[in-house]
Amino acid sequence: MGVSPLRIFMLLWTAAALATGLPAMLLPGLLVQLFGAPAQSTLLLGSWGWLVVLSGLGVGLAARDPLRNILWVKVAILGFVVGAAYDLAHLLAGTVTLLAVAPEVAVYGLFAILFLRFYPRGPRLAPLNTRSPWGPLYTDIDHGGLFVKRGRLFAPYFLPLGKEEQK
């Protein structure tokens, strides 16, 4: 199986989350001094850092199989939307400037668009009028193939070979 674009963007997001979250988590006092923020900001900055690191690691681990870990993809998309909305709300309230929030809103928007564009979709299965020893058969409308339903899950169905075909 090749590497899907979504997996690449999920790993890029993980790298960005680690690059921004680790310094905030490990060095909040230094960042507060560098940017001239109030000293009370260290706790908030450190808390934000570990949250970003953990969510980034979750998205990175989910990149192994985005379809199986679809909840992480959905949480990431929701995080991008909420993050951008939060920044824009502060912009409209006048507590920050456009220059302060524009890069973050742009990154959130870009990743939201990429994650939605390459959102993993499972096969669209349609029932066939044929049964197998394990139950009714289905086919993938887009790519073909046979599937059998086992409980709530679908599994590929392989036709058993006859004795003359096994040689």
- Check if the beta carbon of residue 97 is closer than 8 Å to that of residue 104: no
Domain termination site, one of 79, 101, 117: 117
Same domain, 95 and 16: yes
* Pair 108, 130 in one domain: no
Tell me, what's the pLDDT at 162? 56
DSSP line for 70-99: HHHHHHHHHHHHHHHHHHHHHHHHTSS-HH
> Both 92 and 152 in a single domain?
no
149-135-65 Cα angle (round to 5): 20
Q: Are residues 131 and 55 in the same domain?
A: no
Residue 44's pLDDT is: 86
User: How far is Cα 87 from Cα 18, in angstroms, rounded to an integer?
Assistant: 20
Q: Which of 117, 141, 157 finishes a domain?
A: 117
156 and 90 both lie in a single domain: no
Asked if residue 105 and residue 55 are part of one domain, the reply reads yes
How would residue 129 be classed by pLDDT, with cut points 50, 70 and 90?
confident
The reply to whether 113 and 157 lie within a common domain is: no
Which residue range is the domain that position 149 belongs to?
Answer: 125-166
Tens of pLDDT, residues 24-55? 999 988 888 888 778 778 888 889 899 999 99
DSSP H or E run through 12: helix 5-26
Distance, in Å, from the CA atom of 68 to the CA atom of 166, rounded to the nearest integer, reads 34
Cβ atoms 53, 13 nearer than 8 A: no
Query: Do 63 and 98 sit in the same domain of this protein?
Result: yes
Q: What percent of the chain has pLDDT over 70?
A: 91
117 or 33, higher pLDDT: 117
Same domain, 70 and 104: yes
Same domain, 66 and 144: no
Tell me the CA end-to-end span of the chain in Å, nearest whole number: 29
pLDDT of residue 160: 62
Domain count, the chain: 2
Residues 41 and 113 in one domain: yes
